[in-house]
């Protein structure tokens, strides 16, 4: 076993040397996946040469000290693992290497000194460097692994190198891709337009009338955008939670005939591109919408623009997020133990009292979760306010216009981002506080053989009355989306046409071979490939984190957990702006690349993988791992051979979710796309802004179909976990509950 540790150390050292001596140290102009540099003057060309060459060919002699951190571990290789110096050497070189790498990266930028601190001490020199590339990446990774291997040798995590390295890796990437960008937002909010630190300018911007203005209460002037966002989010959350509960009660507590079809509704929000609903609403209720005109004809009134503004955005958001709260609440409503309700009834409470005093309080965590999710989703929602907002401005759109609009005020955007983050995080903590430490556990290990109580007639009728028209409306809207792509001009000319599909997805066969003629192909393939790369990475990072959280104990574990879950509470718009602020300049110069999109998706969707993994892993008896360990397998092969195979359902869920979310997300993406890497959603937004609804809708329908196909394909290829039915039955009940838990966390 000791050999294995040494072997992995050797490999990481080779990686480090390889990064330092051979690979191009700096970011390449042509992109990460381009290998043009191999034939374009490598290794001598200054743009492509490795760090060691840079020292001599480009006089970048500050890269020379790095070599010592690669020499020292060579000495450790010859030592015994139990020798104290072995660990010390590794820790020293790893931590020094990382620290120096970061220091020089931040200190020296494209045009000399980047930190003003240094500028005042040294003469402004004639040197510069670019963003880090392959070489620096491998070197940094190698240093991180040396550090963790060293720590393990000194007894961290019971000497387990795999676990120590995994923790180190997760902390490393979360710091770089979550904490660092978010801190950049904080910093930039406190800078005035010249870039110097200023609390005054922060306060000025923060308390601007545009944000907090209350003039709307007394006059026709628009309200502050903070109030707009807050009001919208609260209304949306209340309505969706109520509707979701009505749906959940119908499915679980009544004899309704189409329960299965109703459950299908829960899949919709996951595969719906963000502004599809908004579009469909315009086509139905807009000024020239079908229903609007019909009503106008009927009552002979003037068609109005009521849809644009708060009512329309609210309408669209409630339509979009009700299925999410439905999904959360089904699990919770099912989870209320029937024996509790039976107990209440035998104690002479009638059905209404039982529902009010027993069932409903037990559903509190579910209601709180549904409320929180809808609240955050509404706050972060970008697509609907964009399409339907009109003069009704909210934080997420305002942030966007602060960056891309004429004002281009990053500081103002950062202030808004902080405000948005404050709202969502407070909602998060308020929810925690409200649920408190009360136990809502009603599912124990014991088999529970009761029957759920039916609803009393009045409650049942009101559920039907609220939910069924809503379900009908949803069906109509999705039908419209499919239909809308095939008519010439919705609302004016309903004759059948394939023109929109042809514009977007035309293929042509010429003597040059296949030509992807349609306008949408470019963004379509970018979207698919970036999502396909991001999905497995997301699942891997998420499940590894879940493994560490469930199976390992270490100091500051709750801090670790908070860090990995943080990006869940951060609205996409905030993530987007923070990535722009953080990765626009060296040492990590990623804007405009496809990589920044992939990274963004990985860290935005990671919490889902983590939650799903935690739920699934808590089901696996810990003695399975221990058995594997005492049988001589190390923790890496235990993870690989025992845990992963048993986690198949969670892996599938994580893969599907992260793939689909990468396709449908818009709020963060809109900041990060570039001409070379345009995503479907931002392309569609462009279409909507130009009023090309037909093509936009055609594109959305294609995306929906593709996502459905992928979901089936992933299910098919990853396959079932082979445990036989007999084994699954006994835990089937538990499985169900965990699934709903997982899904509720998933949102």
Partner 1 sequence: MSSTYAKGSVVFDHVIKNYGDVTAINDVSFTVEPGNLVTLLGPSGCGKTTTLRMIAGLEHASQGRIFIGGKDVTQLPATDRDVSMVFQSYALFPHMTVLQNVAYGLVASGINKLEAAEKSEEALALVGLHGYGQRLPSELSGGQQQRVAVARALVLEPEVLLLDEPLSNLDAKLRRQVREEIRELQQKLGLTAVYVTHDQEEAMAVSDRIIVMNKSVVAQEGSPRELYDEPNSSFIADFIGDANLIDVELVDTANGMANVNIAGLQKYLPAREFALGSAQLAVRPDAIELQHVSQKTSGIKGNIRHATYLGNQMQYDVDCELGTLFVVDYQLKQSLVVGADVNIDFADRGLVLVKAN
- Contacting positions for partner 1 (CB under 8 A): 1-2, 155, 158-160, 621, 623-624, 626-635, 637, 641-642, 645-646, 721-724, 726-727
**Nearest Cα residue to 662 out of 594, 590, 579:** 594
Taking phi over 0 as left and psi of -120 to 50 as alpha, with beta for the rest, 366 belongs to: alpha
What distance, in Å, lies between the first and last C-alpha atoms of the chain?
42
- Tell me which residue has tokens 């929180």: 372
Least distance to partner 1, CB of residue 386, Å:
47
Q: Name the residue nearer to partner 1 (CB basis): 510 or 623.
A: 623
How near is the Cβ of 93 to partner 1 at its closest, in Å?
A: 23
In degrees, rounded to 5, the angle at the alpha carbon of residue 689 between the alpha carbons of residues 667 and 695 is: 95
Q: Which helix (H) or strand (E) holds 707?
A: helix 693-718
Residue whose CB is less far from partner 1, 348 or 446:
446
Q: How far is the CB of 82 from partner 1 (least distance, A)?
A: 8
Q: Give me the least distance between CB of 638 and partner 1, in Å please.
A: 9
CB nearer to partner 1: pick between 627 and 705: 627
* Residue 552 CB, nearest approach to partner 1 (Å): 13
Residue (510 or 630) nearer to partner 1, CB: 630
Distances (CA, A) of 730 to 265, 713, 737: 29, 29, 13
Shortest reach from residue 169's CB to partner 1, in Å: 20
Helix or strand run (H / E) with residue 13: helix 2-21
Least Å distance, CB 650 to partner 1, is 14
User: What distance in Å separates the CA atoms of residue 486 and residue 42, rounded to the nearest whole number?
Assistant: 53
Between residues 528 and 629, which has the closer beta carbon with respect to partner 1? 629
**Residue 311 or 645 having the CB closest to partner 1:** 645
3-state secondary structure of 716: helix
For 533, the enclosing helix (H) or strand (E) is helix 521-551
**What are the CA-CA distances from residue 209 to residues 204, 206, 229, 230, 232 (Å)?**
10, 9, 15, 16, 19
Angle at 85 between CA 84 and CA 91, to 5 degrees: 100
Give the nearest distance from C-beta 2 to partner 1 in angstroms.
8
C-beta closer to partner 1: residue 446 or 722: 722
Beta carbons within 8 Å of 433's beta carbon, 6+ residues apart: none
Contact 146, 13 (CB under 8 A): yes
DSSP states of 156-199 as a string?
Answer: GGGG-HHHHHHHHHHHHHHIIIIIHHHHHHHHHHTB-TTS-B-H
Which of residues 33 and 554 has its CB atom nearest to partner 1 in the complex? 554
Answer yes or no: are the C-beta atoms of 359 and 462 closer than 8 Å. Answer: no
Cβ distance to partner 1 smaller for residue 39 or 631 = 631
Nearer CB in complex with partner 1: 297/626: 626
Query: For partner 1, which is the closer residue by CB, 624 or 708?
Result: 624
Q: Which CB atom, from 510 or from 726, has the smaller least distance to partner 1?
A: 726
CB of 87 to partner 1, least distance (A): 12
Shortest separation between residue 164's beta carbon and partner 1, angstroms: 12
Q: What is the DSSP string of 550-566?
A: HH---TTHHHHHHHHHH
Which residues pair with residue 508 across a beta bridge?
A: 515
Contact 241, 367 (CB under 8 A): yes
- Backbone conformation region of residue 50, classed left if phi is above 0, alpha if psi is from -120 to 50, else beta: beta
Shortest spacing between CB 157 and partner 1, in angstroms: 9
Give the residue among 736, 256, 262, 259 at the shortest CA–CA distance from 454: 256
Residue 606: which of 548, 560, 527, 539 has the closest Cα? 539
Nearer of residues 406 and 631 to partner 1, judged by Cβ: 631
Q: Mutual orientation of helices 310-335 and 225-253 as an angle, nearest 10°?
A: 40
- Least CB distance to partner 1 at residue 154 (A): 11
| Shortest Å, Cβ 13 to partner 1 | 23
Return the number of the residue (585 or 646) whose C-beta is nearest partner 1: 646
CB of 649: closest distance to partner 1 in angstroms? 12
Interatomic CA distance for residues 89 and 74, integer angstroms: 9
Considering Cα of 348, then 351, then 354, then 359, what sign does the dihedral take? positive
Q: Which is nearer to partner 1, 474 or 552 (CB)?
A: 552
Minimum distance of partner 1 from residue 216's CB (angstroms): 55
Q: Shortest Cβ distance from residue 355 to partner 1 (Å)?
A: 39
Q: Do residues 174 and 562 lie in contact, with contact meaning Cβ atoms separated by under 8 Å?
A: no
CB of 90 to partner 1, least distance (A): 17
Closest CB to partner 1 among residues 405, 645:
645
Taking each continuous run of H as one helix and of E as one strand, the counts in the chain are 37, 6
Our CB check for partner 1 shows the closer of 110 and 723 to be 723
> Is the torsion defined by CA of 275, 590, 379, 267 positive or negative?
positive
Report how far residue 13's alpha carbon sits from residue 445's, in angstroms, rounded to the nearest whole number.
Answer: 49
The residues, ordered by sequence, that sit 6+ positions from 239 with a Cβ below 8 Å of its Cβ are 314, 318, 322
């Amino acid at each position: 076993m000791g050999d294995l540790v040494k072997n992995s150390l050797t490999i990481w050292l080779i990686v480090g040397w390889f990064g330092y001596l051979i690979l191009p140290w700096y970011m390449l102009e042509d992109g990460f996946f381009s290998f043009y540099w191999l034939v374009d003057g490598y290794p001598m060309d200054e743009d492509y040469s490795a760090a060691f060459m840079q020292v001599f060919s480009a006089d970048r002699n500050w890269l020379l000290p790095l070599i010592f951190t690669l020499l020292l571990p060579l000495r450790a290789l010859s030592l015994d693992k139990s020798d104290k110096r072995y660990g010390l050497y590794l820790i020293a070189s790893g931590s020094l290497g990382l620290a120096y790498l970061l220091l020089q990266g931040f200190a020296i930028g494209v045009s000399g000194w980047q930190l003003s601190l240094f500028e005042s001490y040294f003469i402004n020199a004639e040197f510069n460097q670019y963003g880090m590339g392959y070489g620096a990446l491998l070197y940094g990774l190698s240093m991180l692994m040396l550090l963790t291997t060293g720590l393990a040798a000194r007894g961290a995590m019971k000497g387990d190198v795999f676990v120590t390295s995994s923790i180190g890796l997760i902390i490393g990437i979360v710091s770089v891709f979550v904490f660092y960008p978010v801190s950049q937002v904080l910093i930039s909010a406190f800078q005035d337009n010249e870039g110097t630190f200023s609390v005054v300018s922060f306060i000025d911007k923060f308390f601007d009338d545009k944000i907090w203005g209350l003039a709307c209460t007394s006059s026709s002037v628009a309200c502050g955008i903070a109030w707009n966002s807050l009001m919208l989010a609260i209304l949306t959350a209340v309505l969706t939670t109520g509707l979701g509960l009505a749906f959940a009660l119908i499915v679980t507590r009544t004899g309704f005939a189409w329960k299965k079809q109703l459950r299908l509704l829960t899949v919709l929000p996951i595969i719906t591109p963000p502004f599809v609903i908004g579009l469909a609403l315009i086509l139905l209720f807009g000024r020239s919408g079908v229903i609007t005109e019909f009503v106008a004809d009927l009552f002979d009134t003037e068609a109005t623009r009521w849809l644009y503004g708060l009512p329309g955005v609210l309408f669209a958001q409630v339509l979009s997020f009700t299925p999410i709260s439905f999904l959360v609440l089904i699990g919770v409503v099912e989870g209320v133990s029937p024996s509790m309700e039976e107990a209440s009834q035998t104690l002479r409470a009638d059905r209404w009292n039982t529902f009010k005093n027993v069932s409903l309080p037990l559903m509190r965590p579910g209601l709180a979760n549904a409320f929180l999710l809808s609240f955050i989703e509404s706050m972060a929602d970008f697509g609907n306010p964009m399409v339907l907002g009109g003069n009704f401005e909210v934080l997420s759109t305002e942030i966007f216009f602060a960056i891309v609009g004429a004002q281009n005020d990053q500081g103002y955007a950062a202030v808004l981002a902080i405000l948005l983050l404050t709202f969502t995080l407070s909602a998060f903590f308020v929810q925690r506080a409200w649920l408190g430490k009360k136990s809502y556990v009603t599912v124990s290990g014991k088999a529970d053989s009761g029957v759920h109580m039916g609803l009393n007639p009045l409650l049942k009728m009101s559920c039907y009355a609220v939910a069924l028209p809503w379900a009908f409306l949803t069906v109509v809207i999705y039908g419209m989306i499919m239909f809308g792509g095939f008519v010439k001009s919705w609302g004016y000319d309903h004759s059948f046409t394939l023109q929109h599909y042809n514009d977007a997805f035309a293929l042509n066969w010429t003597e040059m071979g296949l030509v992807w003629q349609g306008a949408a192909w470019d963004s379509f393939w970018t979207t698919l490939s970036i999502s396909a790369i991001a999905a497995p990475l997301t699942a891997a990072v998420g499940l590894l984190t879940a493994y560490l959280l469930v199976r390992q104990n270490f100091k500051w574990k709750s801090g670790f957990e908070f860090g990995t879950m943080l990006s869940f509470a951060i609205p996409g718009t905030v993530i987007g702006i923070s990535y722009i602020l953080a990765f626009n300049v060296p040492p990590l110069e990623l804007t405009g690349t496809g990589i920044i999109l992939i990274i963004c998706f990985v860290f935005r969707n990671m919490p889902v993988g983590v939650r799903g993994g935690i739920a699934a892993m808590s089901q696996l008896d810990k003695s399975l791992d221990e058995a594997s360990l005492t049988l001589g397998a190390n923790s890496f092969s235990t993870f690989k051979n025992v845990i992963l195979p048993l986690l198949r359902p969670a892996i599938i869920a994580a893969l599907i979710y992260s793939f689909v979310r990468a396709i449908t997300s818009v709020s963060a993406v809109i900041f990060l796309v570039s001409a070379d890497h345009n995503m479907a959603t931002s392309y569609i937004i462009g279409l909507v802004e130009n009023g090309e609804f037909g093509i936009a809708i055609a594109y959305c329908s294609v995306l929906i179909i593709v996502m459905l196909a992928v979901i089936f394909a992933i299910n098919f290829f990853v396959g079932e976990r082979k445990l036989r039915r007999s084994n699954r039955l006994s835990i089937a009940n538990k499985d169900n509950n965990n699934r709903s838990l997982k899904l509720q966390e998933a949102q």
